[in-house]
Amino acid sequence: MAEPAPSTPPALDLSADITTLTAALCDIESVSLDEAAICDAIETALAPLEHLALTRIGNTLVARTDLGRDERVVLAGHIDTVPLTTDPANLPTQRRGDELWGRGTVDMKGGVAVQLKAALVTEPSRDLTFVFYEGEEIDSQYNGLLHIHQQRPDLIEDADFAVLLEPTGSIVEGGCKGTLRVDVVTKGIAAHSARPWNGHNAIHDAAEVLARLAAYEPETVMVDGLEYREAMNAVGIAGGIATNVIPDRCVVTVNYRYAPDKSEDDALAVVNQLFTDFVVTVNDNAGGARPGLDRPAAKAFVEALGVDVVAKQGWTDVARFSAMGVPAVNFGPGDPNLAHHDEERVPVAQLESAEAALLRWLA
């Protein structure tokens, strides 16, 4: 029996208008771990562009100019999406009035389409590194930026600045906060609940943990001219053996969102100081990212776009750029509140304005 012919990736017309290109990208299904077809399509579309040198790592594609400019900037976007829904069906995309509906229109193939439009500029004002990466929506081990960091950091580390085209409603969100998650453990002595004096109730001791959290006053920190509001909260609590047993252990899970002026160790020191007489176990600690708005490349970007600039209060992959020594901001079309939503949709005007802003900056 003859071997089946290799599948041909769907064609992308980079000359199409931004809305049509976004729809074409969305209609190539690319749920996390199934990004081969869309990566193939992007690679096929970019291969004829002689001003770009392509490098592929798995289903992550890097395209670079080498024009000898004084600055190099990364434009990055992930090509995977969360799973589709069937009721309502959110693929294929639909144009409804002034909006494009469908999975990926917000998170974040609108931003990827803007990247592809920028890739057509043969003489940009600075050298560019385009990153189209896999595995952002799932566990970190699958993230294409992580793979670049591990295997080919040289593809990114020479950049002065990075723009992650995640949805921000077409404003600039600078850097991001770090996130630390710990378990604060109280220890007691188990006993029969009819004779509690024979034991010590660990759940009751958790009241002190909660009281300290309630009294804690988080800082508001200025970093590169942006205001980051820290937060520390209990996000989970677990304890108890049985309904007739005094519990000997209780765990309060605490999440600390910290400003990017702090290192991971600094953040852990803050938590340890607050709970100095408790057992604290670290579950996860991902550092934040400074926006680097004092850098010339960042200043030029903000001035060219002429949009509002605010601090990113959550955590995004800009932190991965920071880990490689590259300051970064978030900027892209789409309302982040509609990411992963059954009714995911993006205004056509935001796609057009994001494209126009980026091309204005590169002119």
**Percentage of the residues of the chain whose pLDDT score is greater than 90:** 85
Relative orientation angle of helices 18-26 and 109-119, to the nearest 10 degrees: 120
Tokens of 115: 């990247």
The predicted-structure confidence for 148-197, as pLDDT tens digits, reads as follows: 999 999 999 999 999 999 999 989 999 999 999 999 999 999 999 999 99
pLDDT average per 10 residues of sequence, the chain (363 residues)? 54 96 98 97 98 98 97 97 90 96 97 98 96 94 95 95 93 93 97 96 98 97 93 97 96 97 97 97 92 86 88 90 89 94 96 94 89
The predicted-structure confidence for 98-124, as pLDDT tens digits, reads as follows: 999 999 999 999 999 999 999 999 999
Structural domains of the chain in order of their starting residue, each with its CATH number: 18-176+289-362 (3.40.630.10), 178-286 (3.30.70.360)
Average pLDDT value over all residues in the chain: 94
Active site residues: 80, 136
What pLDDT does residue 7 have?
55
What pLDDT does residue 187 have?
96
What pLDDT does residue 1 have?
47
What pLDDT does residue 290 have?
87
What gap in Å lies between CA 183 and CA 26, rounded to an integer? Answer: 40
Sign of CA dihedral 336, 218, 265, 283: negative
Helices (H), ranges, the chain: 18-26, 36-46, 109-119, 144-151, 154-157, 202-215, 264-274, 296-305, 318-323, 348-362
What pLDDT does residue 11 have?
84
What gap in Å lies between CA 160 and CA 119, rounded to an integer? Answer: 18
